[in-house]
Amino acid sequence: MTDQTPRLELEGITKAYPGVIANNNVSMKIMPGEIHALLGENGAGKSTLVKFIYGVQKADSGILKWEGQEMAMANPNAARKLGIGMVFQHFSLFDAMTVEENIAIGISPELAAGDLNQRIRDVSQQYGLPLDPTRYVHTLSVGERQRIEVVRCLLQDPKLLIMDEPTSVLTPQEVDELFKTLRRLSEEGVSILYISHKLQEIKDLCHVATIMRMGEVVDDCIPSEESPRSMAEMMMGANLVSPERSGKAEPGAPHLVVRDLSLASGHQHGVDLKNVSLEVRTGEILGIAGIAGNGQIELMEVLSGEMLVDDQNAVMIGNDAVGKSGPGVRRNAGMGFVPEERLGHGAVPEMSLWENAFLSGSSTMNLMSNGFININGSVEYAQNVVSEFNVKTPGVEHTANSLSGGNLQKFIFGREILQNPGVIVALQPTWGVDAGSAAFIRQSLLDLAAKGAAVLVISQDLEELFEVSDRMSVICEGELSAPRPAEECTVEEIGLLMAGISHETEAAHA
Amino acid sequence: MLRLELRGELSRSMIYWSPIFAVILTFIAGMIMFTILGVDPLKAIVTFFIEPLNSMDGIAELFVKATPLVLIAVGLSFGFQANVWNIGAEGQLTIGALAGGGVALLFFNVDSPLLMPGMIIAGILGGMAWAAIPAFLKTKYGTNEILTSLMLTYVGLLVLSYLIHGPWKDPEGQNFPESRLFHDAAIVPIILEETRLHFGWIITLFGVAVAWVVMTRHMIGFQIRVIGMAPMAASFAGFKEKHVIWLTLMISGGAAGLAGMIEVSGPIGQIVPVISPGYGFTAIIVAFLGRLHPIGCLFAGLLMALTYLGGDNAQIEMNLPNAVTGVFQGMLLFFLLASDVLVRYRIRFGKATALVAPAAATPPMAIDEEGA
């Protein structure tokens, strides 16, 4: 290995955006056959670096060497010609076309010519990526869609495969399958640049890791010799405090109850909810796992009151039936919600923090008299949120979009929690949030439950759910599995449920 | 080399500087235009923008012209902030004028102090009724209010034309298409002797003050702003979009109707075939020039009124065509939109360099390319 030329070598890559240096003097080497992790929090500059390698974006300065030769990557086409393939986090597939058609339009015409169908079958068989070229994309699961992207790259005989957060849409079982494929590719000499912030996966899969923080390479390590915790600390540059449960309170009576709720989704390509029933008791956290796009958004809308149902009794907060009542009524009944999107849903990006505090607290915090806004009261409330939830901001008159993702999420959580809700529902509470803020938010959810609130967390992040939940349930294609105590659940079971394989159906197959 | 560079946060000061830039650029472009036309540019600018304000009468006239512009613009800015695009204020003005004027004609022999309040209410209701049609169509059937409100303007003008040529024609008017002259009780009182300045200006100032308070301090204004900036956040907060559509169309329609009623019962004094020289459309420019802010609309309305007066003066003094007014109004809007780029971007000279603050000093979310 030692005398080999690196497949890809970067020296001193710098790229600045207005007001921020996304990459500052970044250097790294990727050897042939190496699975190289690029690890960092959101905003650490991983995507910028990858976009540069793949020719999507130019750097301000720095050198890229491909197999020892200095190159200027003009565009993704040039990168593909050299043998760089990339699987993006968000797929670019046409739903109304078949797998084969989608692959054909994504590769060069010469490559698409001939018996593409057969070659797709060959590649997918060779690498254990079962895929039927004649199927229409809209009939495929997210995991299968990702396989299309992978197969598309493999058809081009890549020497370097870049994968951007590939597992965020996969079940644990699908992740295992993908890893097998990646390991086989690595044995064949393909280098893989694997971008992720999931530490256990990196430890399991990658040979080396480059760790980035705030645009700079801060460390290198051999993941197999590290623990996820030590890597997290390198990534954050600080010690990580895991959430702790303070003395377990016995859960009380059901406080948030949903009964037999079925609802057609209001979104295009949305998922209908089918006979969803759930109970969240006071003092407990119910976690709902599931792959994105299985009805989580719809469930959240039905719970928050942004989507109403015909049966008033289908959603109960304590003794209040609220199925047909909007968010205002539900807030007054003691419900707080944290939607997935921070900017534009949970907060108005261009409004000040105190106005955003008023947004959800106007009635519950008594910030209004005769329809007039109590500005002093709102400012004071926002300041309380900022100080109690460690929100880093120069002042509450600054706009929501001036905050970093983690700080804004802490602000939104603080805003809901200080309203003293009896129930809180959060969708993807730590999505795209730095590890420090994520730990803080999880801790505040645990504290809230310890004080007797009923907490419902809907998340794709299994680690997070296992960390906070008392009971767990899985949503798949709009159906909710029966909740079970979290300590009795295994990742494997939850994974199977996420893939839509329940014990009964499995038994039926056997 | 000039380059535009995205700002991290919107520039607060540029929001206010941009209209001032627009005015300055309009002056410069206007002077170039006059030079090309072979007219002394300085003299033209003086004739256009300064001479009209030389006398008390001129200033009063400025307020008279500004009255409908400001009133309508303030109403429209409620809708525009909520992304409800009422383009049909001209039609609502016309129907408001007919409703208010209709009350005057109906009670042409009644001399009661209650007549004026009755006309005001009728004017407001008339404008609201006309705006209710797009509101109903939008909330019920999802039609585009830009089209419906605009098309209803022409319907409104035809209603005016029908009434004035038919049932409401002055029986003693020698067949001219005009209504009878309003009697004294139906005329908005003059507030400055020897001029045409009338009570409508006071109503407008009052409207500006109320709008300011509602927009910045009241839940109604808050809902409107949230819906305009982030519709999802509005539904998260429990604000109902349909309510806001109705509300904003009623506010803008009512204001336009009131402005129309004030026109016919003030400066005009009867219903004539042409009630407004396009106030309802010009008010759209006023609303944007005034940053959709009531106080901004007040100043922008005065400026726009000046272009009307200046245009008239330029016709009389320098034999310039009436189109000059339209040209100036168009240039103002054009330069305003152009200057607005500076709210989001800053101008940099020279080539792109990496000279920026260290990443630690600015929130990392300024780069939004990191997906999840």
Residue B1: the pLDDT is 64
Cβ of residue B36 closer than 8 Å to a chain A Cβ? no
Nearest to B37 by CA among B306, B45, B24, B334: B45
Taking 50 as the threshold, does the pLDDT of residue B371 lie above it? Answer: no
User: If one looks up domain A254-509 in CATH, what number appears?
Assistant: 3.40.50.300
Q: What is the pLDDT of residue B60?
A: 94
Question: Considering Cα of A498, then A264, then B234, then A453, what sign does the dihedral take?
Answer: negative
Q: Which of A17, A88, A300 to mutate to test the interface with B (most CBs of B within 10 A)?
A: A17
Q: What is the pLDDT of residues A147-158, one digit of tens each?
A: 888 888 888 889
- pLDDT digits 0-9 by tens, B314-325: 888 888 888 888
Please indicate whether residue A436 or residue B297 has the higher confidence score (pLDDT).
Answer: B297
Instruction: Kindly report the number of other CB atoms within 10 A of residue A114's CB atom.
Output: 9
- On the question of a common fold for A8-236 and A254-509, the answer reads yes
Lowest-pLDDT choice from A65-69, A229-233, B324-328: A229-233
Restricting to B residues 212-271, those with a Cβ less than 8 Å away from any Cβ of A are: 217-220, 222, 225-226, 229-230, 232-233, 235-238, 240
Within 8 A of A328 by CB-CB distance, chain B residues are 237-238
pTM for the model:
0.78
Of A10, A81, A8, the C-alpha closest to A48 is: A10
- Min CA distance, B122 vs chain A (Å)? 27
Does A345 reach chain B within 8 Å, measured CB to CB?
yes
Is B340 domain-assigned?
no
Give me the residue from B352, B360, B372 closest to A89, CB to CB. B372
Out of A166-170, A263-267, B159-163, which region has the weakest mean confidence (pLDDT)? Answer: A166-170
Determine the structural domain holding residue B190 and report its residue range.
Answer: 40-319
pLDDT band at residue B370, thresholds of 50, 70 and 90?
A: very low
* Chain B residue closest in CA terms to A326: B238
* CATH top class, domain A8-236: alpha beta
The reported pLDDT for the residue numbered B351 is 53
Contact B363 A345 (CB under 8 A): no
Q: Which residue has the higher pLDDT, B253 or A107?
A: B253
Query: According to the model, what pLDDT value does residue A74 have?
Result: 79
pLDDT surpasses 70 at B363? no
Does A416 score more than 90 pLDDT?
yes
Q: Is the pLDDT of residue B372 over 60?
A: no
More confident residue, A79 or A18: A79
Residue B1 within any structural domain of the chain: no
Q: Is the CB of residue A331 less than 8 Å away from at least one CB of chain B?
A: yes
Q: What is the CATH number of the domain that holds B67?
A: 1.10.3470
pLDDT of residue B12: 74
SS3 B317: helix
Tokens standing for B54?
Answer: 């030389």
Q: Minimal Cα–Cα distance from A510 to chain B, Å?
A: 39
Q: Does position A506 have pLDDT exceeding 50, yes or no?
A: no
The pLDDT of A239-265, averaged and rounded, is 78
> Does the distance separating the beta carbons of B222 and A355 come in below 8 Å?
yes
Domain boundaries, chain A: 8-236, 254-509
Q: A442 and A467 in contact (C-beta within 8 Å)?
A: yes
Is some CB atom of chain B closer than 8 A to the CB atom of A186?
Answer: no
Tell whether B16 lies on the interface with A, counting CB pairs under 8 A. Answer: no
Residue A417 confidence (pLDDT) above 90: yes
Mean per-residue pLDDT for A59-76?
86
pLDDT digits (tens, 9 = 90+) for B71-128: 999 999 999 999 999 999 999 999 999 999 999 999 988 888 999 999 999 999 999 9
| pLDDT, chain A, mean | 86
Other beta carbons within 10 Å of B193: 6
pLDDT tens-digit series, residues A132-141: 888 888 888 7
Radius of gyration (C-alpha) of chain B in whole angstroms: 23
Q: Does B12 contact A at CB distance below 8 Å?
A: no
Structure tokens at B29: 């472009």
Q: Is B2 on the interface with A (CB under 8 A)?
A: no
The pLDDT assigned to B341 comes to 82
How large is the average pLDDT for residues A260-288? 88
Residue B103 lies in a domain: yes
Segment A221-240 mean pLDDT: 80
The 10 Å Cβ neighbour count of residue B346 is 16
Report yes or no: B89 and B254 within 8 Å, Cβ to Cβ.
Answer: no
Report percent pLDDT > 90 for chain A: 38
User: In chain B, which residues have their Cβ closer than 8 Å to the Cβ of A306?
Assistant: 235-236
- Please give the residue of chain A at the shortest CA–CA distance from B359: A20
Please give, rounded to a whole number of angstroms, the shortest distance from the CA of A190 to a CA of chain B: 26
B28 located within any domain: no
In A233-252, the residues whose Cβ lies within 8 Å of chain B are: none
pLDDT digits (tens, 9 = 90+) for A342-352: 889 999 998 99
A488 CB burial (10 A radius; 0-12, 13-18, 19+): exposed
Tally of domains in chain B: 1
A92 interfaces chain B, CB cutoff of 8 Å? no
| pLDDT in the model for residue A18 | 64
Average pLDDT, chain B: 88
Highest mean pLDDT among A170-184, A187-201, A320-334: A320-334
The predicted pLDDT at position B296 comes to 92
How many interface pairs between A and B have CB atoms less than 8 angstroms apart? 151
Tell me which of B350 and B172 has the higher pLDDT.
B172
Nearest residue to B259 via CA among B108, B74, B45: B74
Find the mean pLDDT for residues A91-105: 87
Average pLDDT over residues B13-27: 85
Element at A27 (helix H, strand E): strand A20-30
Rounded to a whole number of angstroms, the distance from the CA of B220 to the nearest CA of chain A is 8
Among B222, B238, B358, whose Cβ lies nearest the Cβ of A305?
B238
CB contact under 8 A, B236 and A375: no
* Residue A247 confidence class, pLDDT cut points 50, 70, 90: low
Q: pLDDT higher for A139 or A381?
A: A381
Across the interface, whether the CB atoms of B232 and A345 are under 8 A apart is answered yes
Give yes or no for residue B14 having a pLDDT over 90. no
- Name the percent of chain A lying above pLDDT 70: 94
The residue-averaged pLDDT of A339-343 equals: 89
| Chain B CB contacts of A15 below 8 Å | 354
Q: Which of A328, A347, A404 sits opposite B233 (nearest CB)?
A: A347
Is B363 part of any domain?
Answer: no
Of residues A16, A21, A43, nearest to B370 (C-beta): A43
| Chain B partners within 8 Å of A427 (Cβ) | none
Give residue A385's pLDDT. 96
**Residue of chain B nearest A90, judged by CA positions:** B371
Q: For residue B11, is it within any domain?
A: no
Q: pLDDT confidence of B220, banded at 50, 70, 90? A: very high
A24 touches chain B (CB under 8 A): yes
Helices (H), chain B: 12-36, 41-45, 56-81, 89-106, 115-141, 145-165, 200-217, 219-229, 231-237, 241-263, 279-289, 294-318, 323-339, 341-344
